[in-house]
Structure 1
Amino acid sequence: MEVFGLKNCDTCRKAMKALPEATLVDVRKDGVPQALLKDALEQFGDQLINTRSTTWRGLDSAEREAPPLELLAAHPALMKRPLIRAGGRLSLGWSPEIEAQVRFAV
């Protein structure tokens, strides 16, 4: 099980505490595989981009118009977190429902 996020993100910390068997992949340091981003974009669409983030607010309008995969490649912190890959399934965000899905997938 892999949790794609940021080590200093509170939501990612909650997920890691609840999932001690998971490996945290820091998206700023390690990046996210392009194939995984494609799969996540197909599954979650616009929800994959966190438009409430500080990174998003720092982009100008031209940058915001870039294709989502280019945006995420250039600014990995734009991805909503955590993105969890468990048992061949992807989950986005963290809630009791997602925790149950992830535990069931393993």
Structure 2
Amino acid sequence: MNSRIITALPAALAVAALAACTFGTPTVPADELADTAEGALEEEVGQRPEIDCGGEDIEVVEGEDVTCVLTDPASGTEYDTVITFTSVDGTDFEIDVQVADTAN
């Protein structure tokens, strides 16, 4: 699998999924961030991978990276995947998704 950088637009994000805190940094559940990244990759390559970002809520901070594991649905091969918050505006955010060139 080639390294790809994918941008998920705010419209593609489930803003309601963002569990914004009244005070402090907003967070998003790891499985919902993974789902957003899966959707972005599916649009790009035509096949939906499985991405695991752990079980903890993730702080939504511009410029921050989240390391996840992508599983190729065709082969079951795992790849490190980095999701970066490229823009954060309140409860709206954009991400880039980069999949490693080599399997784990």
More helix by share: 1
TM over 0.5: no
What TM-score do you get using the length of structure 1 for normalisation? 0.24
What TM-score do you get using the length of structure 2 for normalisation? 0.24
